[in-house]
Structure 1
Amino acid sequence: MLGLTMLCLLTEATAQSNYAAFELEREENWRPMMLEDVNGDDAKDIIYSHYDPAIGRELHIHHQQADGGFAATPQRIEVKTEIIAIGFADLRPDPGKELVLFADSGVFSLSTAQAGYAGNLKLLLEWDL
């Protein structure tokens, strides 16, 4: 029994060096989280949707930091009312994946490296739903 206890303590002590502690409080938001590298640092960032009646729909992105933890304050990306679905793909020469926005008028890419939609939104495919 002593050998098993020692093994458990040893395993616990050595395993913890692989992880960084991070606590994400989302209140009543139980929507799924996604992991994507949107800034091109080869580390997965935490992404989830958020809705506030005063602001509207947003994506919140907690960028992974060099120590393995995540930024406490998320980057907030406005989700326009015309957008019906969001995906991720590496479509531009800039590092990281871009948001792929599906709307009733077409499919667009949006970089999280640039603020806002002006000069950032790129049409990929046009259609009329």
Structure 2
Amino acid sequence: MAAGLLEHAYTWQSVYRMGRFTLSRFLPPFRPKQENHIGEAITDDSGRIAYLKTFRLSETQVRRGHLLNRLAANDWHLANTAADLGINEAQLGLRLESAGFGLLLRQDVLDGYRKAGRTRTG
């Protein structure tokens, strides 16, 4: 049913512990055009799963997660993230806006990225 769930290594974060049980959340590596899941699990002190809930991500959600993941890996530095992705900073800014994250950028910065984008295409 969810073959892609078992094909990836996930990033796990323990969120809460109560007695011998631990609630953890997990994130995928956000690989485009592949099955990606996020979810949470409750495990006992032996590591056995007592509860598991996963959500399969759409391709749009995977692209958004990939962008946020790359930004976080580069300490939210736009120029470094753009270089990591093999694009320029203006292209990254426009990609962030297209993904619905335009509000993360100051309006004047976003306007500058838009202008730079029009200059390249015009």
Q: TM-score range by the shorter chain?
A: 0.3 to 0.5
The structure with higher relative contact order (CA 8 Å, sep 6+) is 1
Name the one with the larger helix percent. Answer: 2
Name the one with the larger strand percent. Answer: 1
Q: TM-score scaled by structure 2?
A: 0.32
Q: TM-score scaled by structure 1?
A: 0.31
